[in-house]
Structure formats: C-alpha cells, structure tokens
Amino acid sequence: MDIEGFVRQAINQNDEKSVENSLRDKILEYKNINPEQASKMASAVIEEVKHTLKIESHPDDFLRDLINYPKANVKMGEIGVGSRGEGDFFVHRRIADIVSSTHTNAFITPEAQDDGGVVKKSVGSNDIYVTTAVDGIHSRLSEYPFLGGFHVARASLRDVCVMGADPVAILSDLHLADDGDVGKLFDFTAGVCAVSELVNVPLVAGSTLRVGGDMVLGDRLVSAVGAVGISEYAPTARKRAEAGDVILMTEGSGGGTITTTAIYHGMFDVVNETMDVSFIKASEAISAAGLLPEVHAMTDVTNGGLRGDAHEIASTTGVGLTVFNDKIRELINPKVLEMLEKLDIDPLGVSVDSLMIIAPEDIGEEVKKAVSGANVDIAEIGYVDDTGKAKLIRDGVEEALTPLFREAAYTKIKKVVGDTTPEDFEIMKEKVQKAALAAIKKKDDVVKAVREK
C-alpha cells in the first residue's frame, strides 16, 4: 500500500485528524509497532505531503512546472499499460516519441518498437554495435522470486539475442517493499544467476532498494534485469523484413506469463516446462552458423503473443505478415497448449516465448538446419508480403491478426477485468497524446534552461 498516495487523495476529502487515524490503523495492519508509533508515522507523512502541496501556489511558473508532472487524467489500468494490447502499444509509442525528440545519436531507438536499442561505436577502423535491453519481473511473481528472476533474466537476454548481438553482461535492479522478507532478494538473485550460469553471461552490476522507501507498506517485489550485447554487424531490426521472406518460429514453452498462469490455476507441473534456455541456444546456433548478417529480422513472441508482435511488425515496417494457425500450434509446448486450451486462453494472445525469424527463403533453410542442430524445434509458419497487414490462416480461412485491447486473459482477475476496448478509448488517446507532448516541451524547456545557466 502506498501511504503517501493514500494521504494525497484523502487529505482533500477529509479532515486531517481523521486521515491520521485511518492511516494509523492501516500501518498497524502491516507493522508490529504500538499505536503511538504508528500515529507518529502517520502524522509525519501528512506533514510531508502538506509541504509538497504548497508548490501549487508558488509564484515561479518554471519551478512549479518542473516539480509537477503533466497529467493525462488517464489511469494505467484504464488504458491497459503493461497488458500488452492496443492501449499498451499506444502508450509505448508515445514514450518513443519523447525519446525520438531527444537530440542524441542512436542506431536503433524505441521509435522502432524493437526488442532492444542499439548504438554504433567506432573502435579503430571497425564499427561495433552495442545492444541494450531491459525487462521487468512479471508482477504476479512477487511471491515466487526465483521464478521471477529466472524468467526476467531470460527475457532480457532474449531481447539482446534477437537484435543479432552476442550477450556479454547482465544488470539487476531490485526493489522490495518495506515489509518484505530479505530472503526474497536472495531468491530472486539466485534465479537471475541460474540463467547467467546456464548461458555463461555474467551478472556484473545492480542496485537494491526498497519500493517507495518508507512510503509503501507490504512485501511487494518489483525489479528489472538489463542485458548488454555486442555485434560487429548491423542488428536484425524489424525494419529489414521484406516481401517474399519466410517466417520461421521455434518451439515456445512460455516464460513469466505461462508460469503465472500455471501457478494461479494450480497447474504446477506446467511451471517446469518453462525452465529452459532453448531460445538462447537457438540464437547462438544461428550466430555460430554465420547466418545473422543474412537474417532480416528476429523477435521473441512475447508482447501480447503473436497477435501483438505480428501487428507491431506490420505497423512499424509497412510489410504484411501471413501466418498459419496449425503450424503455430505445432510449435507450442504440448503441455502449455493443453493448459491454455483447458483454460480457454487464446494461444495467439499470450507470450509463448518462441523465437520468430524472418529471412529470405534460402537463408531460412539454413536457419532451420542450424537451430535443429542445437536440438530446438523450428518450422516455417508463414511468409512476408506487401499488404501492410498481419493475417492468420485458420482452417483455410483468412482473418485479420489484430491485438486485443489487452492480451488474452490468463488469470481469473484478468478475465474479470476483461479485454474489450473502452468506449472512450479515442478520448483517452487524445489525453495521453497531450500529456506526452507536454512532457516533450518540459524536457526541451529544462534542457534550454540548464544550458543557459
């Protein structure tokens, strides 16, 4: 529970004493302290929040705008941020707009909506491409730190691999709320290090802090793992996909999403199916065969499943993708597929963690040989055309392959929330766009002011 957020909301609706009493009681629910100490904590938070509210009447407009943030008046859950659907993609593109407005040099920026970002550096007479990626722990794996660490580390490394880079380092940013057991830190780190050891990429740096410091009650674990990779040639960015290419996919056993689905439905045996690094083995096999310069694009089937990834590739590159449903189903781990069907979860709408490769037909054959040689199943699932649309062939019938407003509901609470597009979605998009533009202006104003000091 965010006690600062509670005070900010309650202080405008209730008298100060009632807010203090209510907050004291909430603190006592979490902490084994006496009521007097809880009251002191509550009073201190209220006093601090009251000080921050004074900024609204400050005469300096620049300072007031610097401290405040441009409000969109649209909540994260309302527009589906983090739910890997249409709303989430829209917000991420606005974040990319802010990045692209920044006057710095990068070979691939978030504007491309690729799995990782790339900078090009000259070392002597050679060009080196440095790829970076970062992923956050699945929010429902807070109580299962090892699994959370294992899958987020694997995800971050995947994002580097699909850009055609050789992973060389892992970073870990770990945040545990004030009442969390320190053992969670160790279990999470052990999960990250298990992947590190399996793929021989060292964990070299990190940070460990509390979630919100003294302002958050509970034991929620949130974290991110980053990865760094290098390559001597241009990355396999999505924009290189061309009409006439074939689309290949490796077998997917899922990661954090499938693990969460299994745990929260009591289907624990499926968790073991996700514990592998075959994705990275496949990437290494392609690299070792010298095929990466010839591969046009690679991505992991994660963001909202194949629906989301195919739609994003088509949207950002202008090419079309046609995939065959029966071929895709054959490449989903049988136990994972059985669970998804039993729970009525769309296999195309969740992250199955397959590797998708787009390449010329002749190179595709070589890729299949290399990946199969690493004991990873792979097959052709479709082709690239010039239609600019993502399409699925199911039982001989073509249908649009479009993302849902949120990814396929894979837990009970997600089914309750639903995945239908809100009636006011277009209005929300306008508000979000306005806030993003305000953030760009704020950034520009601050850069100018600092330079003029």
* Average pLDDT estimate for 307-334: 89
Gyration radius of the chain's alpha carbons: 24
* Average pLDDT estimate for 19-41: 94
Q: Please give the model's pTM, rounded to 2 decimal places.
A: 0.89
Percentages (nearest 5) of helix, strand, coil residues in the chain: 50, 20, 30
- At residue 178, does pLDDT exceed 90? yes
DSSP H helix total and E strand total for the chain:
17, 12
DSSP string, 207-245: EEEETTGGGB-S--EEEEEEEEEEESS----GGG--TT-
**pLDDT band at residue 20, thresholds of 50, 70 and 90?**
very high
Instruction: Tell me the pLDDT of the chain averaged across its residues.
Output: 90
pLDDT at position 269 is 96
**Residue 270: closest CA among 354, 217, 340:** 340
- Summarised one tens digit per residue, pLDDT across range 153-164 is 999 999 898 888
Angle between helices 305-317 and 86-100 (to 10 degrees): 40
Q: Under a CB-based contact definition with an 8 Å cutoff, are residues 295 and 367 in contact?
A: yes
For residue 152, count CB atoms less than 10 angstroms from its CB and return exposed for 0-12, middle for 13-18, buried for 19 or more: buried
pLDDT at position 420 is 81
Q: Under a CB-based contact definition with an 8 Å cutoff, are residues 424 and 358 in contact?
A: no
pLDDT at position 238 is 62
- Summarised one tens digit per residue, pLDDT across range 72-124 is 999 998 998 877 778 888 898 898 889 888 888 887 767 666 668 889 988 88
- Summarised one tens digit per residue, pLDDT across range 231-250 is 988 776 666 788 999 999 99
Q: Under a CB-based contact definition with an 8 Å cutoff, are residues 82 and 351 in contact?
A: no
- At residue 28, does pLDDT exceed 90? yes
Q: Under a CB-based contact definition with an 8 Å cutoff, are residues 295 and 236 in contact?
A: yes
CA distance 352 to 168: 25
